[in-house]
C-alpha cells in the first residue's frame, strides 16, 4: 500500500509499505478521507518524531474485521487517541490527560491507504458514519470535537462575550460552536479571506489586527493562533474572572502579567484533543445539521499530491480544511 512519510513540511515522501495485518478484536479500514490538521504543519512540534506517517482525522470503510462490534463494508470514523476509562484521570472525566490516550494511535497513520485499528480504538474510538455524512465531512468530527472539549472546559454560556484570536479552521469552528451556544463572538485575524469567513460563519464583530488592536473586555478568550502577540492581546482583553484558553500554542514560553492575574482572578487553561463524549457530541451535531462542516472543506487531493496539501495548509491563504483522499 502507499503511505506518505513526513520528514519535514517540505519533504513528504510517498512510499510502499506492507498492508497491516490485523489481530483479534481489530479492524482494517480503507482510508477514504484524511484531513490535514494545523498541528500536522506545526513543524517545530512534528519534526521531533520524524520520519513518521501522520494523519489523525480519518473516515473510511472496514475491509477486514476480527471484531464482534463491526462488520466488513461499514462506514466509520476512527479516533486515533482513546482513553483507558480506568485510570484516575478517566474517573475524574479528564480523559484527555489519560496516559493511554497520549500513547495510543492507529497503525501506521491516516496518510496511508489502509490503517489497522487496535482493539482499544475499536472499542473506545470507532463510530459508524451515517449515510448522510460523507467521508470528507467525517474528517471534521475530530477537529470539531476538540472545540467542544475546549469550550466545555472553559464553560462558555449564552450570556458570555467570547473573543477568538485567529480565524483559521479551528477559530472558525469555535465561532460556529460559540454561536450555537448563544454567545456573542468577536473574532480577529490578519487575513481578509479568513476575516470574511469569520463574519460569514456568525461572528458578531471581526477585527483586522493588522490595522486595529482589539479594545474590548470579554468573558472568555480562545487563542487559535501560535502568534506570540495573540497572548499579549488576550491578557489585555480578558475581563475580571475571565478564562483564557490556549487552543493553539506559541512556540516559545509566555509571560503572565501576574498582578492582573491575581487581582482580577483570571484563569489560564488549555485543552488537548477530545474525549469520547466530545466525539459523540460532534458526530451528533453534524448529523443533525446543527453545525455545517462541508462548506469548510476547500481542497481535496490524492495521496500522491500530499506535499501540495501541506503547502496549502502551511501558507494559510485562501484555504480552510484540506482533505487527502488515499483511495
What is d(CA 69, CA 72) in angstroms, rounded to the nearest whole number? 11
Fold for the domain defined by 2-140+293-325: Quinone Oxidoreductase; Chain A, domain 1 (3.90.180)
pLDDT at site 32: 98
CA 214 vs. chain centroid, Å, equals 26
Quickly count: other Cβ atoms within 10 Å of residue 262's Cβ: 10
What secondary structure, in 3-state letters, does the chain show?
A: CEEEEEEECCEEEEEECCCCCCCCCCEEEEEEEEECCHHHHCHHHHHHHCCECCCCEEEEEEEEECCCCCCCCCEEEEECCCCCCCCHHHHCCCHHHCHHHHHCCCECCCCECEEEECHHHHHHHEEECCCCCCHHHHCCHHHHHHHHHHHHHHCCCCCCEEEEECCCHHHHHHHHHHHHHCCEEEEEECCHHHHHHHHHCCCCEEEECCCCCCCCCEEEEEECCCCHHHHHHHHHHEEEEEEEEECCCCCCCCCCCHHHHHHCCCEEEECCCCCHHHHHHHHHHHHCCCCCCHHHEEEEEEHHHHHHHHHHHHHCCCCCEEEEECC
- Report the top-level CATH class of 145-270: alpha beta
Closest of 101, 105, 80 to residue 89, by C-alpha: 101
pLDDT at site 67: 97
Length in residues, the chain? 327
pLDDT in tens, the chain (327 residues): 999 999 999 999 999 999 999 999 999 999 999 999 988 998 888 988 899 999 999 999 999 999 999 999 999 999 999 999 999 999 999 999 999 999 989 999 999 999 999 999 999 999 999 999 999 999 999 999 999 999 999 999 999 999 999 999 999 999 999 999 999 999 999 999 999 999 999 999 999 999 998 999 999 999 999 999 999 999 999 999 999 999 998 888 889 999 999 999 999 999 999 999 999 999 999 999 999 999 999 999 999 999 999 999 999 889 999 999 999
pLDDT at site 58: 97
pLDDT at site 42: 87
pTM for this prediction: 0.95
pLDDT digits (tens, 9 = 90+) for 66-118: 999 999 999 999 999 999 999 999 999 999 999 999 998 999 999 999 999 99
Domain ranges of the chain: 2-140+293-325, 145-270
What is d(CA 75, CA 287) in angstroms, rounded to the nearest whole number? 14
Q: Are strands 205-208 and 218-223 parallel, antiparallel or unpaired?
A: unpaired
Amino acid at each position: 500500500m502507499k503511505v506518505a512519510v513526513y520528514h519535514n513540511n517540505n519533504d513528504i515522501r510517498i512510499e510502499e509499505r506492507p498492508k497491516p495485518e490485523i489481530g483479534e478484536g481489530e479492524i482494517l479500514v480503507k482510508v477514504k478521507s484524511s484531513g490535514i490538521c494545523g498541528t500536522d504543519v506545526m513543524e517545530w512540534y512534528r519534526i521531533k518524531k520524524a520520519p513518521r506517517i501522520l494523519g489523525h482525522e480519518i473516515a473510511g470503510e472496514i475491509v477486514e474485521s476480527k471484531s464482534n462490534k463491526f462488520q466488513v463494508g461499514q462506514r466509520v470514523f476512527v479516533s486515533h487517541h482513546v482513553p483507558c476509562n480506568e485510570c484516575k484521570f478517566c474517573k475524574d472525566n479528564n480523559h484527555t490527560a489519560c496516559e493511554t490516550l497520549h500513547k495510543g494511535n492507529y497503525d501506521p497513520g491516516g496518510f496511508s491507504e489502509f490503517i489497522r485499528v487496535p482493539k482499544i480504538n475499536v472499542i473506545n474510538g470507532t463510530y459508524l458514519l451515517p449515510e448522510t455524512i460523507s467521508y470528507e465531512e467525517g474528517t471534521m468530527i475530530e477537529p470539531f470535537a476538540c472545540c467542544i472539549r475546549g469550550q466545555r472546559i472553559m464553560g462558555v454560556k449564552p450570556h458570555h462575550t467570547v473573543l477568538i484570536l485567529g480565524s483559521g479552521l479551528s477559530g472558525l469552528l469555535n465561532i460556529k460552536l460559540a454561536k450555537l451556544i448563544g454567545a456573542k463572538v468577536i473574532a480577529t485575524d490578519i487575513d481578509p479571506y479568513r476575516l470574511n469567513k469569520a463574519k460569514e460563519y456568525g461572528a458578531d464583530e471581526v477585527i483586522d489586527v493588522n490595522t486595529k488592536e482589539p479594545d474590548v473586555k470579554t468573558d472568555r478568550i480562545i487563542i487559535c493562533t501560535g502568534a506570540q502577540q495573540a497572548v499579549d492581546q488576550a491578557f489585555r482583553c480578558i475581563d475580571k474572572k475571565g478564562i483564557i484558553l490556549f487552543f493553539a500554542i506559541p512556540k516559545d514560553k509566555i509571560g503572565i502579567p501576574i498582578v492582573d492575574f491575581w487581582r482580577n482572578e483570571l484563569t489560564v487553561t488549555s485543552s488537548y484533543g477530545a474525549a469520547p463524549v466530545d466525539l459523540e457530541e460532534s458526530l451528533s451535531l453534524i448529523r443533525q445539521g446543527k453545525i455545517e462542516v462541508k462548506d469548510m472543506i476547500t481542497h481535496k487531493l490524492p495521496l500522491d499530491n500530499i506535499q501540495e496539501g501541506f503547502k496549502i495548509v502551511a501558507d494559510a491563504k485562501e484555504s480552510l480544511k484540506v482533505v487527502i483522499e488515499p483511495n
